A and B are shown apart, each in its own frame.
Chain A
Amino acid sequence: MKEHATKAAAFIKDEARTDWHDESLWFVRSRRDKAAHGIPEWEQLRELASQIKDHTLSHLDEYLEAFEAKAIENGVTVHWAADAAAHNRIVHGILQEHNARRIVKSKSMLTEECGLNEYLEAQGIEVVDTDLGERIIQLKEEPPSHIVMPAIHLKKEEVGELFHQKLQTRKGATDPQYLTEAARQHLRQSFLEADAAITGVNFAIAETGGVVVCTNEGNADMGTHLAPLQIHCMGIEKILPKAEHLGVFTRLLARSATGQPSTIFTSHHHKAKDGGAMHIVIVDNGRTTQLGRPDFRNSLKCIRCGACMNTCPIYRRSGGHSYDSTVPGPIGSILTPGIDLKKYSGLPFASTLCGSCSDVCPVKIDIHEQLYKWRQIIAEEGLLPTAKKQSMVMAGKVLSRPGWYKAAGKSARWVTRWLPRPLIYTPLNTWGKARELPEAPKESFQEWYRKNRSAS
């Protein structure tokens, strides 16, 4: 329950680094604002995107079946996986069938969620993540801290040292240009040698049976077009009805994510290349359960742009790892409790409910309202710490009884006025750790009012 607070406190100890992390992400948020404010119909696009997703979720079974039929017609093999284990088994099966041992993978939060890398590595299959940020954290053996910028928590000195050890770059070299070039040379070899390429999916089009993959680096394309086998893994919620709907979503995605007018590459895959094979794996892994929760189902609209993380004042100051979940930040805090309520019961409380996440969201997910609703469920399930629950029960009693309220208020004011500092500012008083308590006035407003107005 307190895990986020503990990890956040550890992160924040290095204040200069916290400021650097905060500023890096705020910079992305500012670029997003500039891009969004450059489109007069921005708010209309968000509304359209939200409605298209509502519609699609309300016909999800039909669209998935239409998608599959069309994909099969295109010569693509379609697989269905109920959960992460099934997904990993299926992918492994396809690789075995094609005798594929060297895999290049582009960024996919779904395969991250399913733990695909670990699974395949345990079977003796080599997986190279090819997005630069993903490759960095793969070499560092860390999980991503952001869904769009996986290595945003690392400084160039750390990347330089890592590359020196793993890619034999010059000792002490920190120039991003130089380090990126080293990664390019190293990854190009992997692309040329790969037996199979695995990608995530940004959008899947029911009408045409194709998938759309967006990147800036071109790594997904280098992988899929060079390797004889391409596998695209997608959650059931990635479906859009028609190609025309891509117009709405491609306009929103990159602008929300990084402030670019478009991702550099928006690739539309419909058929395997000549002599190649194309597979699509459609994954549930808890999504139908989420669809069955009316209060939370619209979290399935998420297009993984990461804007809610960039704007979240808590994420920016606590880092992605403090959430301990594949998808961190505000959206992660409403998705993960649906997967394991007990484990993630602290996340909906890692927020001030400021609402900025909901307002930057390109598909208008009511993120902060869902955080509020998860809190209610967590309390109902008895997952609040006892002291916290008891204090709320007590507060509920006091605040519904004017007499008790008056007495409690008086004693609170008395305590802060007359008690010596050491008795007030104890380690139990977390408010007082970095803040003074308000100076208690002699009389409350109610008392003042009775003296000054009631009589008249």
Chain B
Amino acid sequence: MSKAHIIKAIQAVRPDPCPLPVVPDFEAGDRPVREVFGSVAAQSGSRVVRAEDFVGLATAVRTIYHKEIKIATPLRAIQSDIDLQQASPADLNGIDVAVLPAQLGVAENGAVWVTEADCVHRVLPFITQHLVLVLPEDRIVRNMHEAYAQIKIDDTGFGVFIAGPSKTADIEQSLVIGAQGARSLTIILT
């Protein structure tokens, strides 16, 4: 009922058709995307490391975070302390570090695309105290235009660009890291 009413109301007053502009290819800067990604992500409070600087992913995570941490991960290279397939979302509340594969990185804003397929539970990258994303280095694009050209946002029921640790500045504009989501974000480039 309401739908017909609203659609009719729109049709009664709709502006004359305006053309849909074409989004051009913007000129690339000189700096390599990997470098831009690293510096922008760092500015947003993310830690960017290279897997090759460590002996394997598991060591990387255990070195960066504490050894006694509770890890959740679907990756085979790392031992998960929780069976993600069996866990309920509320069980994830005690997780210290979630290590998840990621699809794509964006140089201009340090954002990383993670889908439901990567995290098993949608809430995992948010509810974990700390988040580690494992991103192939050759999957970094220049900007959001290239990013949206490469991903399909409805491939899975949920997908998210994560551009740093959860933060807020709601009290007097003072930046506080660790609002409701992960307190830190580490991006491991492979």
Contact = CB atoms under 8 A, between A and B. Distances in A.
Interface in B50-83: none
Given A155-B172, A262-B161, A292-B12, A251 B143 contact: yes
A159 interface: yes
Nearest to B119: A225
Contact of A264 (B11, B20, B123, B163): B163
A184 B180 contact: yes
B6 A282 contact: yes
A247 interface: yes
A64 B174 CA distance: 40
A281 B27 CA distance: 40
A41 B25 CA distance: 10
Interface residues of B, number: 74
A216 interface: yes
Interface string A36-76: 00011100100010011011011111001100100000100
B168 A288 contact: no
A133 B157 contact: no
Interface string A252-265: 00100010111111
B168 A216 contact: yes
A268 interface: yes
The winner among A55, A65, A261, A297 for most chain B CB atoms within 10 A is: A261
Contact of A48 (B21, B93, B161, B176): B21
B2 A291 contact: no
Interface in B132-190: 143-145, 147-149, 152-154, 156-174, 176, 178-182
A49 to B, nearest CB: 9
A24 B15 CA distance: 39
B31 interface: no
A192 interface: yes
Number of chain A interface residues as a range: 35 or more
A187 B180 contact: yes
Contacts of B19: 51, 55
B13 interface: yes
A256 B164 CA distance: 18
Contact of A265 (B26, B123, B173, B181): B181
B15 A216 contact: no
A192 B179 CA distance: 16
A355 interface: no
B178 A270 contact: no
A236 interface: yes
Interface of A: 24, 27-28, 39-41, 44, 48, 51-52, 54-55, 57-61, 64-65, 68, 74, 79-82, 86, 130-133, 136, 149-152, 154-156, 159, 176-177, 179-181, 183-184, 187-188, 191-192, 205, 208-210, 216-219, 221-222, 224-226, 236, 241, 243-248, 250-251, 254, 258, 260-273, 282, 284, 288, 291-292, 294, 297
Interface of B: 2-3, 5-7, 9-21, 23-24, 26-27, 40, 43-44, 89-90, 93, 106, 108-111, 116, 121-123, 125-127, 143-145, 147-149, 152-154, 156-174, 176, 178-182
9 contacts: A39-B108, A41-B26, A60-B14, A80-B6, A176-B171, A226-B89, A269-B158, A288-B13, A294-B15
Given A156-B174, A188-B93, A218-B180, 19 more contacts: A28-B173, A44-B26, A51-B21, A57-B15, A58-B17, A74-B154, A86-B2, A219-B179, A222-B181, A226-B90, A260-B44, A261-B110, A264-B165, A268-B159, A268-B160, A284-B9, A288-B9, A288-B12, A288-B13
